[in-house]
Copies of this chain bind each other. A is one copy, B any other.
Amino acid sequence: MNAVRPTLEKVAARAGVSRATVSRVVNGSPQVKPEIREVVMRAVEELGYVPNLAARSLVTQRADSIALVFPEPPARVFSDDPMFASIIRGVSQEMDLADKQLVLMLSGSPRGQERVERYTTSRHVDGVILASLHGADPLPAALARRGVPVVCGGRPIAGGGPPSVDMENVGGAEQAVRHLVASGRRRIATIAGPQDMIAGIDRLTGYRNVLRDSDRRSIVAVGDFTRDSGATAMRQLLRDDPALDAVFAASDMMALGALQVLRQSGRRVPDDVAVVGFDDVPAAAYAEPPLTTVRHPIHDMGRELARLVLSLASGEDVDTPVILPTELIVRESA
């Protein structure tokens, strides 16, 4: 019907005021007399005026949008692992509240990485959330150099680095393994996560801490948080120590994979082998048997990340790393 968008100018003409006044009304400045505001509002309404954000951000130097970057290959980000989705949801919720837009970027490929860098450094976003950090990602440094606010999920491995939100990975893993120890398990293995990610490293550390203190030998296989890698790792563990009586998997998806291998190998869970996961994904509760796991507030992590980056973007200082608590959920698998 009306494909041409009216400009401020048009609205001003219609309302019989100046552009500046319309701008004031649109942006809710208190410096406008109520009756004039009224007239302008009506004109806005009648013309269906919507501000041109490009023009606005050109002058304000703000974009009112935030990039959420997943540095994983897309296949990984959105397999059946609901972690990523939870983060998105958390971030998105907070963005809604702040009336900011969420620009989603997957930077799995090298090409993608370059694009992300170009885009995020071009002041087209007010800040960047890095959902997770692998080893030495060059992005944080590039952004810092440009003065673009960055926060990241999972504290940086090296220390220093950008502000971050993390969770009690060490503590959570300790809780899980302590639970296994307390129930009398002697040969407790672990399926660790990728060792270039802080969550992978920390959960393994937690496992080691408890084993060391309780005088048990550690039995380790490494996965990449996916179900298949969990299954593979479980087979490996069974080969390494057929008599193991417990497994702590650093992610629920890996635990689910392990459960299946255990079943195939004729072990009963938890009678022969106890299994504890990490994440408390929805599927954990539906597993056979229902999976004992460590719950962490991944959704809150998304929200917290969003809040932080928004604070940074508006020039405030933030106190990080923020560490979110975890909680052991005891079900039937251990």
Contacts and interface: CB of A to CB of B under 8 A. Distances in A.
B96 A115 contact: yes
Interface string A85-126: 110110011001001011111100101100100110111100
A79 B80 contact: no
Interface stretch (A53-61, A128-136, A174-182, A196-204): A53-61
Contacts of A50: 118, 121-123
Interface stretch (A1-9, A39-47, A158-166, A237-245): A1-9
Counting contact residues on chain A (CB < 8 A from B), the size range is 35 or more
Interface string A61-96: 001010010000011011110101110110011001
Contacts of A33: none
A260 interface: yes
Number of identical monomers bound together in the oligomeric complex = 2
B3 A146 contact: yes
Interface string A285-309: 0101000000000000000000000
B82 A283 contact: no
A58 B56 CA distance: 9
Contacts of A86: 78
A54 B65 contact: no
A54 B57 contact: yes
Contact of A53 (B51, B112, B122): B122
A102 B105 contact: yes
B74 A63 contact: no
A120 to B, nearest CB: 10
Contact of A93 (B74, B123, B147): B74
Contact of A282 (B54, B63, B68, B80): B80
Contacts of A123: 5, 50, 52-54
A256 to B, nearest CB: 7
A112 B96 contact: yes
B286 A122 contact: no
Given A124-B54, A286-B256, A104 B106 contact: no
A188 interface: no
A256 B115 CA distance: 39
A37 interface: no
28 contacts: A1-B145, A2-B145, A5-B146, A50-B121, A50-B122, A50-B123, A52-B58, A53-B54, A53-B123, A53-B124, A54-B54, A54-B63, A54-B123, A65-B103, A74-B89, A75-B89, A79-B82, A84-B85, A89-B106, A92-B106, A96-B106, A96-B111, A96-B112, A101-B103, A101-B119, A102-B103, A227-B282, A288-B288
Interface of A: 1-3, 5, 50-55, 57-58, 63, 65, 68, 74-75, 77-80, 82, 84-86, 88-89, 92-93, 96, 99, 101-106, 109, 111-112, 115, 118-119, 121-124, 145-147, 227, 256, 260, 281-283, 286, 288
Question: Which are the 3 A-B pairs with shortest beta-carbon distances?
Answer: A3-B147, A78-B85, A80-B282
